[in-house]
C-alpha cells in the first residue's frame, strides 16, 4: 500500500495506533516464517500446510470428490485443511480425501443443498441490513441481520430461515448497523470522500495504477493524495454495486513508481502475488483511518445487501474497519494480496462484520496485474500451488494434472467466484497459474464456502 504518489500515508498510521500495535505483534515476528510441509511417511495423515497453500488442496479435492465435497476450511491451530464430505453411496470418498492430505469430517448437508438455501434467501429475503454465507465449519448457512431489521422484515427473514428446514441455517442479529464507510483517512481523496488505496498494480497497457473499492471509484473520477489537493489519479473502471466492489485507478503521471507493498507506517510488507482467501485463515487489513488490524476469514462469495444495492462475491471476516478504511488492502503475513475493504458494521472498539472484494477477481475483471510488471512472482503461484496439489496425487485425482499449475481456475461457482484461482498474479502478471489440474471439472465447486453472504453492510469508504 506504499506508493510514491501517496507520501503522507505513514503519518496517518498513528490514528490506528492501538489496533496497529496489536496486529503488528502478530504479523511482524512471523512475516518470514515457514511451516512444515508435513510428513510423507503416512499418506493418510493430515498434511501440515500454510494457509496460502490450503486453496490449492481444496480445489483439487473439490474435483476429486465431486458431489461428496461439502466445503472446506483451514484449521490455523493445527495448520491443516479440514474437508467436509457427504459419503452417500461412495464409501471411498473419505479414503481419497485422507490420502490427499486433508483432515476429513463427515457432514449432513451437501453443497448443492446449501446453495439452494442461499438462493431461497436471495429470492425471499433480500433485505437491506442482512447477510448470509455458507459456513463450512458448521455445515450451515450463517444468516445475519443488523439492528435496522425489525418488525415485518425480521418476521420475513426469520420465516424464510425456518422454511429452509432444521439444521440448514442459523440466524443471529448484530447490534451494529451495516453502513458505508466512505470518509476518514489520509490515503486518497475525491468527491468529498476519503478512502484507502489498496494495492498498486500494472494496467493492461503497462501503465501504473492501483486498486481500491468500487464505491470509492463511483464517488468521483479523480483522486488526490491530499484533501482539496490537485488530482494525481483518474478512475479507469469501477464496479459497484453488482458483481463486486472494486475500481482500477490510473496514476496521471506515467512515470509514477508504484511498488508492490503494504505500508505499515514504520516499515513495509512486500506483496508477492494475489491469492484466494480460505475460511479460517488469519488475515491483516491496513486502512487510512484505523491502521493495521487482524482477524479471520469467516466466509467466501458473500452477497451483501448494501443500501445502495446488492454486491456479490465478497469475503466475510471479523476484521474491524471504520469510515475511511474502504479500499484498503487485506493481506497475509507472508505477503499475499487477498482483498480490498468493502464495508461492514461496527468499529475497531466493539468489532463487527466486515466484507472484502477478492483481489484475484478484481485483477481479472480489470485486466491488471499485481505490482510493477518486472516479472517477479508471476510464475510463483504455480510452483507454490504444486506443493499442495502434488499431495493429492495423480492416482487419486484420476489423472489430475499435478504439474505445479497453482490453484488454476478452481471454479467459479460455489455460489460465485470462491475458487477463482490464485492465478500466479505476481509482480509480473497473471502468469498462467495453470489448468484446473483436477480430474473432471472443478469449475463448480470453488473452495466450498460458496453460497454467498448478503450482508446489508455498507461499503467502508
Residue spans of beta strands (DSSP E) within 321-448: 329-331, 336-344, 354-358, 369-370
| Cβ–Cβ < 8 Å for 362, 244 | yes
Q: Where are the alpha helices (DSSP H) in 350-424?
A: 359-366, 380-392
Provide the β-strand partners of residue 365. Answer: none
| Cβ–Cβ < 8 Å for 250, 213 | no
Helix (H) or strand (E) holding 58: helix 54-65
215 has catalytic annotation: yes
Q: Which one of 72, 174, 326, 342 is the catalytic residue?
A: 326
246/340 Cα distance (integer angstroms)? 7
Angle between the 111-124 and 151-163 helix axes, to the nearest 10 degrees? 160
Provide the β-strand partners of residue 170. Answer: 142
Provide the β-strand partners of residue 303. Answer: 132
φ and ψ at 348, to 5 degrees?
-90, 10
225/210 Cα distance (integer angstroms)? 13
67/90 Cα distance (integer angstroms)? 10
Nearest residue to 108 (alpha-carbon basis) of 117, 99, 100? 117
Q: Which one of 56, 146, 196, 215 is the catalytic residue?
A: 215
232/188 Cα distance (integer angstroms)? 9
Classify 245 as helix, strand or coil: coil
329/317 Cα distance (integer angstroms)? 13
Classify 42 as helix, strand or coil: coil
Respond yes or no on whether the N-terminal peptide bond of residue 241 is cis (omega within 30° of 0).
yes
* Sheet of 103-106, strand order: 69-75, 80-85, 103-106
Q: Which one of 245, 413, 423, 447 is the catalytic residue?
A: 245
Catalytic residues: 215, 245, 326
Amino acid at each position: 500500500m506504499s506508493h510514491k504518489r501517496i507520501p503522507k500515508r505513514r503519518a496517518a498510521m498513528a490514528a490506528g495506533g492501538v489496533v496497529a500495535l496489536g496486529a503488528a505483534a502478530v504479523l511482524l515476528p512471523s512475516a518470514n516464517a515457514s511451516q512444515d510441509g508435513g510428513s510423507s511417511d503416512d499418506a493418510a495423515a493430515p498434511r501440515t500446510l500454510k494457509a496460502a497453500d490450503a486453496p490449492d488442496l481444496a480445489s483439487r479435492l473439490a474435483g476429486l470428490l465431486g458431489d461428496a465435497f461439502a466445503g472446506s476450511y483451514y484449521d490455523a491451530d493445527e495448520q491443516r485443511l479440514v474437508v467436509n464430505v457427504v459419503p452417500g453411496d461412495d464409501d471411498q470418498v473419505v479414503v481419497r480425501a485422507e490420502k490427499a492430505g486433508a483432515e476429513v469430517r463427515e457432514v449432513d448437508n451437501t453443497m448443492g443443498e446449501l446453495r439452494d438455501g442461499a438462493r431461497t434467501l436471495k429470492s425471499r429475503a433480500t433485505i437491506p441490513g442482512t447477510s448470509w454465507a455458507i459456513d463450512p465449519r458448521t455445515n450451515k448457512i450463517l444468516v445475519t441481520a443488523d439492528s435496522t431489521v425489525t418488525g415485518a422484515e425480521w418476521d420475513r427473514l426469520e420465516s424464510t430461515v425456518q422454511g429452509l428446514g432444521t439444521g440448514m441455517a442459523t440466524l443471529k442479529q448484530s447490534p451494529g448497523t451495516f453502513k458505508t464507510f466512505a470518509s476518514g483517512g489520509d490515503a486518497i481523496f475525491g468527491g468529498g470522500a476519503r478512502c484507502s488505496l489498496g494495492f498498486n498494480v500494472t494496467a493492461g497497457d503497462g501503465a501504473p495504477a492501483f486498486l481500491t473499492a468500487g464505491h470509492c471509484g463511483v464517488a468521483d473520477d479523480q483522486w488526490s493524495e491530499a484533501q482539496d489537493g490537485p488530482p494525481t489519479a483518474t478512475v479507469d473502471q469501477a464496479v459497484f454495486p453488482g458483481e463486486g466492489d472494486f475500481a482500477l485507478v490510473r496514476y496521471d503521471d506515467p512515470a509514477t513508481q508504484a511498488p508492490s507493498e503494504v505500508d505499515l507506517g514504520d516499515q513495509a510488507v512486500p506483496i508477492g502475488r494475489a491469492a484466494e482467501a480460505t475460511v479460517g485463515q488469519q488475515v491483516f487489513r491496513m486502512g487510512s483511518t484505523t491502521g493495521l488490524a487482524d482477524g479471520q476469514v469467516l466466509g467466501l462469495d458473500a452477497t451483501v445487501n448494501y443500501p445502495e444495492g446488492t454486491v456479490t462475491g465478497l469475503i466475510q471476516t471479523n476484521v474491524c474497519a471504520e469510515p475511511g478504511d474502504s479500499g484498503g488492502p487485506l493481506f497475509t503475513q507472508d505477503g499475499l494480496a487477498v482483498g480490498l475493504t468493502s464495508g461492514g458494521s461496527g468499529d475497531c472498539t466493539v468489532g463487527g462484520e466486515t466484507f472484502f472484494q477478492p483481489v484475484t477477481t478484481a485483477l481479472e475483471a480489470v485486466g491488471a496485474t499485481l505490482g510493477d510488471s518486472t516479472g517477479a512472482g508471476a510464475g510463483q503461484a504455480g510452483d507454490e500451488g504444486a506443493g499442495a496439489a502434488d499431495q493429492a496425487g495423480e492416482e487419486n485425482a484420476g489423472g489430475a494434472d499435478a504439474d505445479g499449475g497453482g490453484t488454476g481456475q478452481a471454479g467459479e461457482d460455489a455460489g460465485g467466484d470462491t475458487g477463482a484461482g490464485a492465478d500466479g498474479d505476481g509482480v509480473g502478471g497473471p502468469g498462467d497459474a495453470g489448468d484446473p489440474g483436477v480430474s473432471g471439472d472443478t469449475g463448480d465447486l470453488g473452495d466450498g464456502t460458496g453460497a454467498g453472504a448478503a450482508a446489508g453492510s455498507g461499503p467502508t469508504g
